[in-house]
Structure 1
């Protein structure tokens, strides 16, 4: 199917849903709670339809010898169409999220059949017994906290350098999720995942073994309000301290990409170079009365980080091994205005990658007009790169979420 044909199908499908919604203005959802909700005549299915987009403007300068080489751009950073609800039974939920912007669809290659990657999430969630839920399909893996936080709910304009260097992002496979209480207030959540190990929307080029991820989260003071452990900022002004501690370990067997299931394929004279890649994440989220603190540590290792040909010669590709640290905090000066700060350190193995340490310092200011559903965010970042020219980056973004 041609690109324009697929777009027409998506648009036509949306129009048909709207025409059949029979939603009256009086019972339409509140702003930020979806465009409309559908319920089957026999109540055996539901669907909430949502739409959001972000308009981003950036300016960037080199700063080693004063401000030089200015660059500026404007773009639709993200544009998403979302569907979720249950099918047949409330115990069988689903989520579909489509990416419509150029950045959402980036990464097309011969391994995705040279097609735009519309599908972000397409996952079924089956609560088959008690607190056990089985996920099947394509969605985010249970890796670093910052990545799992929706881009609609971020505290600053975008995620940190730690996420861009170390995230394991989305993949297709199976996840088993469970939670239980140690005491009346102490909550524990566990996740185990088996995935294809190549990233999202791969149609060919699935080489090597599978990817195994496990994550455990501890809540010593009980759960957060409104899933606040995976939302930036303390917009709910938690009346008592809330803390989530998470540890995740990911093992990608015979991975062929430079960043586990992300990055570029490592090609050699016989096809693909592959090696075992492990990634460890340790993170925390704390919130209390408008104050929030999020911290993350990441570490990636590989059995043999240098990609080789069959004769042992180096191809020039290597696994991006090393460490990352991100500390981010914010305080709501009022119910709608927040000041935030972030420090990120990236330390890749210089002997392997040829790159040194990066330090980024970010100061952010957010105006929440309707919570995360309608907000204006701006931030200023200084990046001390070490192995190349330092940079100054200014960004402003408007985010609207129906």
Structure 2
């Protein structure tokens, strides 16, 4: 029995045991609010157990000279178990998210002790003083907005090319979060993060320096309903205009990967090539009466983008420096049906990466059966790629959350 299968065999019976123990003490909650909601008799802890998965079908074609070379696939894109609640006091919250699909578990390498990447989130959140909350553990860093939006709350089938090229995703470390009001409705949120800087589930230690991330968010018209600033689509049908404008900067000191804490390790004759990598994020979210707009800009720079050996010769690895722009909008024709559109431009530095610009145009259609908890989404994308064959992509996905 493989390491992967052994963990699943152990995990599933453990969950069944928990539910059997408490089966006479509680009833399952409303659809989309968790499979089970547990609470200690003395209210000293709570746990919500949830599950979700996405079934995806795709078809792609070469599109440089007509439509040719059709390729199709079907897969479980994501499959997750989620646990959250509080321990001892509601001021001490926690979240655990585990991945089970093959795509979720594709992070095995020598740097993760050749183990599948089961753990996505394992974080504790301590509200230690008024508007201050301290996070510790592994979770998403406060980078680009689109990445922080859950994969289950997206407006389209999947995230944009900007996210795949510039995201800083998850890492382990500390985050300090705070918010305050400038006026009666003008809200400001601040986040500072200190992380290891090599991505999630790393067990080999810190090969480079640390990663520092700061982000500030401005809400001139007040906060969004139901955390809508980090959800795709205006399913809350905001009665008043809501806007969040944010600026962030990430600095990875002596980074050893070619996309900050993401991408491939830059190895050389003495171990790893190290360089300082900085990433700027500017984004906005606007919602009003079923209309939504999200815009993002990202720019990555590096002190020395060319990985070198100890004698100065090039290894062939380069930091993926450049910038990206993503503009996305949607409108709910009814409370259940939404049309959406997206334009993404990726411009990596051609003199460094030897890659030209990419432009992607996407049209989407979503049917929300029960909000983001049960939905069917489809989209079609045309990607104009300057350095290889243009592509046409069609996708359809079923998303269900318990």
What's the TM-score once normalised by structure 2's chain length? Answer: 0.99
- Alignment-derived partner of residue 49 in structure 2: 49
Q: Tell whether 2:27 aligns with 1:20.
A: no
Cα separation, 1, equivalents of 2:325 and 2:73: 28
Cα separation, 1, equivalents of 2:6 and 2:336: 42
Distance 1:123 1:23, change over 3 A: farther
Cα separation, 1, equivalents of 2:346 and 2:258: 16
- Alignment-derived partner of residue 252 in structure 1: 252
Cα separation, 2, equivalents of 1:135 and 1:248: 18
Asked if the contact 1:266/1:272 (under 8 Å) is kept, the reply is yes
Cα separation, 2, equivalents of 1:345 and 1:93: 38
- Alignment-derived partner of residue 392 in structure 2: 392
Q: Tell whether 2:2 aligns with 1:4.
A: no
Report deviation, 1:348: 0.1
Report deviation, 1:70: 1.0
**Equivalent pairs, count:** 401
Q: Tell me, what secondary structure is at the counterpart of 2:233?
A: coil
Report deviation, 1:106: 1.0
- Alignment-derived partner of residue 32 in structure 2: 32
Asked if the contact 1:23/1:36 (under 8 Å) is kept, the reply is no
Cα separation, 1, equivalents of 2:374 and 2:202: 33
Asked if the contact 1:345/1:357 (under 8 Å) is kept, the reply is yes
5 Å matches for 1:150-161? 150-161=150-161
Q: Tell me, what secondary structure is at the counterpart of 1:165?
A: helix
5 Å matches for 1:79-118? 79-118=79-118
Distance 1:23 1:316, change over 3 A: farther
Asked if the contact 1:134/1:176 (under 8 Å) is kept, the reply is yes
Report deviation, 1:15: 1.0
Distance 1:386 1:369, change over 3 A: same
Deviations 1:195-245 (A, max 9, x none): 000000001152111000000000000000000000000000000000000
Report deviation, 1:3: 2.6
- Alignment-derived partner of residue 142 in structure 1: 142
- Alignment-derived partner of residue 69 in structure 2: 69
Deviations 1:335-382 (A, max 9, x none): 100000000000000000000100000000000000000000000000
Cα separation, 1, equivalents of 2:22 and 2:67: 54
Asked if the contact 1:125/1:133 (under 8 Å) is kept, the reply is yes
Report deviation, 1:21: 2.5
5 Å matches for 1:119-268? 119-204=119-204, 206-268=206-268
- Alignment-derived partner of residue 355 in structure 2: 355
Q: Tell whether 2:339 aligns with 1:339.
A: yes
Asked if the contact 1:188/1:218 (under 8 Å) is kept, the reply is yes
- Tell me the C-alpha RMSD between the 2 structures: 1.0
User: Which runs of no fewer than 5 residues in structure 1 stay unpaired?
Assistant: none
Report deviation, 1:107: 2.1
Q: Tell me, what secondary structure is at the counterpart of 1:32?
A: coil
Q: Tell me, what secondary structure is at the counterpart of 2:43?
A: coil
